[in-house]
Structure 1
């Protein structure tokens, strides 16, 4: 008899889930995208990937990393908006100009301020006569008289300035972040002084419906006169979690959330989508209680996925299609496909597949901080959860004690995993560290 055939150890016995051969290549592709703006960091990331053991069977060769890196750099270079070569001379004057443009995006900021992105902007004031503005315009509206809706045409009277900010070495490059969005000019206007006017209504039915729903919810959540700060912040939290509307918060409220390590609750990312999926799981359980025979045709996990799909799509619409919501929705769809194909708990595979689709369609999303934090948090949970799960399987406590204690420790460990993964990025971008994972347990 010959030697027994070699068998691959089951994935359950591994301390950390393995990566498929294409997944390190996706990391090299992302490093190539980053290298267009941060060449040293991108090359260092490629060097770290090159340290992976090779040439083991199934492991990517070094030339595949280099090829993926080059593809990422080429995709980013093609997608990067080019700065304007020629600027109309009339834009150099410091006097207020009359601008008209179509609303592309509206983002509510703390204190009631609005951040509006206009496209197709034309300058009509001063010496300009319908001169087109290169790129898009970032308009900050203080004390707005009305809430613009995507698709509307606005007239604005304001001074134009190029994008940028204070020279703060080591801090975010606001000019770069705006350039990634195709924005090269900014302006500031006061809504209560008539500097912003509506010229034409929106023809975007979904945006109009979302705004009507937001106004109805805001009217129900309006704080009564004499309400204290916690009451106002609690009402504002509901609007923030549903619509991503931060206008009801004061800067002090956001500082409190930041010090409590709860800023991620306002990011409308995977955690919020998981609540939506949990709602679908509850609906599937209730349907099973009422009509048990349905599980003979469709198992409970598959029924949960079918019920969750429209809920996740609706929540992405309510949340304004932020990149972190995109990532969560893409990941939900990818995990659903993997589950239907017979994969069990495909957390990291779903994350990589979702990121691969996003980076193929929108390479510059690599530079979005919201997506970075969201993806790192999920990756941290996927990497650090298996050791805790293996430890829990060895615990032989009685049931009434085991499940409450391990459940509480599991929530705390999940918070620790996510915080450990995003900690370097938070320290690098924001310069502070607020480590309060126990508050996330509540």
Structure 2
């Protein structure tokens, strides 16, 4: 039996050598590697506090669960249109009007299998071989990999705390070249929890527009903004492409439901791609998602948002008290991007040591771009206040034992 297995694996290895060359441009997701290490420690009986993966500890609100139950009982499980249920698209449009004061034609809204599918569709429609897309360094790693999946090239522009870890119009102007086709922004951002100020975002859009490029804005954390009036990039013009999701504010991560708002001329091309690549988003998730916009559900989500803000207001000064530096107060999402220089000059090794010795998962800057890879760590506060307090106690003990000031 071992010999047979060896032969099969050898044959498989030979076959895998023919994989598409674009895979060389897609790096492993180190956040998930740490999660696997943590899972192994838990199997050994260790108690681990997870502050790594960006997933709300809240699950779908009860009205959403009830709606899913009714949809199953009523047999509403057939394919929908590739663009999504008309009533869900209308509910999303009404939400933009109510919360952001932006009127959006429901026909411009395409319901997708999560924000990942929305980004995939946008890149499939807009990114050609060797096309360059500008994005900030640091930024969510999968965004640059969506570009690479269509043989484009993400140009990562170092964006430090003086720029809130975000691109500026000046950076876009200075880095635009003949191969550049557009920008991919995220506001609020993963990993930093920082937003692009509305006036600066307007300048970026105007700069890109003057070059006849595209602007994609990832707004999946936009419902979780704490320190400013609600704002969506959709207010900057119908040519701005916006991505959103039911995963973060609406706490529906595993339901895989999101949406994409596109210019009118992109609706048909995106629909054609969606028909071929996905057929449609989960019909069950779509019927459940309708309940997210009910007043009862929205009241629950606003209470949960307030709890996330309470956690942020605890964890940021707590981390600073431990010697981390938080150069920009996160104004959204549920992340803190912290300078760990006072602890170590190797954030990657530091996070492994903290996991093994303190039983706390935080992740290094390695995933998010080279400019902050060794100096920063991302801390997620998408866990209970009790866990946050225990994690701070463990980190304090770890530092006293293992880190020289």
The TM-score range, normalised by the shorter chain, is under 0.3
TM-score, scaled relative to structure 1: 0.23
Structure number, greater radius of gyration: 1
Question: Greater helix share, 1 or 2?
Answer: 1
Larger RCO, structures 1/2 (Cα 8 Å, 6+ apart): 2
